[in-house]
Structure 1
Amino acid sequence: MSNDDEYCPVCKSSRYLNPQIRFLIEPTCYHKMCASCVDRLFGNGPSDCPVAGCGKRLRAARFRAQTFDDIAVEREVDVRKRVNKIFNRREDEFATKRQWDDYLEMVEGTTFDLVNGTKKEVEAAEKRLREYEEANKTVIERNVQRERAEALAFMAREEAEREMLRATRKAAELETEEDKRELMLSRHAQLEALSNGDPEKAERIKQNYIKRAEERRRKARLDVETAKGIREGRALVLNSMLAKAGEEEDEEEEEEWEPLGKNVSDTSKYFSLLEEYPRVDWIDGFVADQKVAAGGYDRQDWYQRSLFEAFAGLTVFLPEDEDEEAASKSLPDRTDIMVVDVPS
């Protein structure tokens, strides 16, 4: 179909009758419609595709101009962009060339199924794509950051190159203007010396001009070399930054903070705190007071403190011998105390 044969499936307007018509496509179904029909049908919100047999939900914000003449090429390019955003690993991330080739084959197979596969193959490829994205979120995000860093580095290198060229041109212009001014002054001084009958002075003036001109050229060459060195230094810094961004850092597990110290617990091994205990009139009345409850008082704290005081000191044995150190060595470590509930 030639461009003149293009027509809108909704209003039937064609480019042959209206050369100024603008066609748009939506990546969900890639059906082509004119811009006026898009505004009329989808301007107030999402709606179903008007093409018979499609019925897919389309949105005005997703309509765009077609880049390629062949709509199949347009669709394949969009699919490859979406796949490459997820399968964005690089060759240096694989141990062997065979693993890299297998990865590329898997990516290409998934892309082919999405573009040319049957409905069942497309569903399987979409499932494979989702599972890979879910399992490799960290790797995908890291490679996205690397791509951004490389783009920024490329822009920085381009800017440094342009800056060096601007500095070189400016230095050349200034050198030319300075050289012209020096040449005019030198010739005027030489003519004045010759008019006064002093050819030796005129020759000295000429040699001084040649010497200063050579010094300016040498300085200009030095400035260019300095600019090149600065550019190369920036390139080395950017390359080192990219290398660091590409390295997979070993993520150390963050150690959990323990308020009482490492391996220290405030849970007693002699009692367990229950949710409810037999009624205590004074504590129930105290908790029922609105002033107390507003301050955040909790009866569980009272229960825990009472039990802690009741069981405190069960494993502490004071020696009766005068030599406490000897007595402490003679006493066994008494930890075989059993606490049982006494029925009321």
Structure 2
Amino acid sequence: MKFLINPECYHKICESCVDRIFSLGPAPCPYPKCGKILRKNKFKQQIFENLFIEKEIDIRRKVGAIYNKTEEDFPNLNEYNQYLESVEDIVFKLSNGIDVDKTEAELNQYEQDHRIEIIEKTMRESQKNADLIKYQDSMERLKQEKLKIQKRMELEDLEFSKLQQQDLLDRMANSSMTSEELIKQQQNQLSKRNSQRKRQLQQINNQLDQQFSQTNPLLRNQSGDEDAVSSTVPFTPFQGDREVNKKYRMLQVPQTIDEIMNIENHTKGSYHDPYVFGLAKNKEYLGAGWRIGNVFEHALDEAFMGLGCNIEVEKSVSV
């Protein structure tokens, strides 16, 4: 059996009885001594187990639709807080049955006296909400487009890494250079390419951000200029992949091939991770330019990220 409630009295009535009693129009509540006139379109399912909470939320929604001013409508914070206190006083009286008739009369009178103002405020808030939804939708599409580009570049880099790995193995078999020299040479090439790819990705992201700011109305000020982006775009302290001063000092880790192949005897007083040590000896990983130091550095970067960051100083840096 499915029960419904009506905000007029909050008495529980089964759905079939609601259809039977109120289908032909408004009718009194069937509960003894209630007498409230109920309408079918006002019945709803109970959300909260505690009916007092259900009632208070409905009252807050009703009062909030009438007393709908925001802080920007007041000359100072003190007057806005007094306004909020008066609203809370109305909600408290209606929720606890204190001077209900008098309070509802005052509420109705306020609504009549400020009807135009209430409607205008509601329309402005509706427009803001609609613009915000459009903005959030655009931000999500922008994010997905960036992820798509990043994923494509990662796949390209992975394919390039496999080709470089095979090339290194071929050169190790045929070249007169030592393995360490070949690996170092390839590592330098990979480092240069990674830097180039990083700049390329950043450039693409900047272009997408610029296009987004030009087409999104929320990123324009009232005069129609488009120089208000820095004040409306969600703030990120590190501005993407901008170089951040490291707050730690790395311990010494094996660098040469001989040290890596005998890594257990070259990490005393340094980092210890048997699993990563095993990966460090893998020639395929070495050939692809992977190094154990990068693992520990990445972990430390994530652990220390944001420590010592002064938000106010970061905000002053131009995007």
Q: TM-score range by the shorter chain?
A: 0.5 to 0.7
Rounded Cα–Cα distance in structure 2 between residues aligned with 1:71 and 1:197: 82
Alignment of 1:1-344 (within 5 A): 21-118=1-98, 121-184=99-162, 211-229=192-210, 237-238=218-219, 240=221
- Per the normalisation by structure 1, the TM-score is 0.53
1:153 touches 1:238 (CA, 8 Å); kept in 2? no
1:189 touches 1:205 (CA, 8 Å); kept in 2? no
Deviation string 1:118-176 (CA, Å, 9 cap, x unpaired) is 5xx32222221122112222321222123223322332342233223212221122112
Rounded Cα–Cα distance in structure 1 between residues aligned with 2:115 and 2:157: 62
2:67 touches 2:87 (CA, 8 Å); kept in 1? yes
- Mark the structure with the bigger radius of gyration: 1
- Per the normalisation by structure 2, the TM-score is 0.56
Q: What residue in structure 2 maps to residue 319 of structure 1?
A: none
Q: Which has the bigger relative contact order, CA under 8 A and spacing at least 6?
A: 2
1:182 touches 1:209 (CA, 8 Å); kept in 2? no
Secondary structure, counterpart of 2:100 in structure 1: helix
Shift in CA distance, 47/238, structure 1 to aligned 2, threshold 3 Å: farther
1:46 touches 1:57 (CA, 8 Å); kept in 2? yes
1:25 touches 1:63 (CA, 8 Å); kept in 2? yes
Question: Which amino acid in structure 2 is aligned with residue 35 of structure 1?
Answer: E
Deviation string 1:313-339 (CA, Å, 9 cap, x unpaired) is xxxxxxxxxxxxxxxxxxxxxxxxxxx
Shift in CA distance, 181/49, structure 1 to aligned 2, threshold 3 Å: same
Q: Quick one: percent identity of the two aligned structures?
A: 30
Displacement of 1:231: 5.5
Rounded Cα–Cα distance in structure 2 between residues aligned with 1:136 and 1:143: 11
Q: What are structure 2's unaligned runs of at least 5 residues?
A: 178-183, 223-319
Displacement of 1:207: 7.7
Deviation string 1:62-103 (CA, Å, 9 cap, x unpaired) is 211111222222112111111110001122222234432332
Rounded Cα–Cα distance in structure 1 between residues aligned with 2:155 and 2:206: 21
Aligned residues, how many? 220
2:135 touches 2:218 (CA, 8 Å); kept in 1? no
Deviation string 1:244-289 (CA, Å, 9 cap, x unpaired) is xxxxxxxxxxxxxxxxxxxxxxxxxxxxxxxxxxxxxxxxxxxxxx
Rounded Cα–Cα distance in structure 1 between residues aligned with 2:76 and 2:194: 60
Question: Which amino acid in structure 1 is aligned with residue 139 of structure 2?
Answer: E
RMSD: 3.7
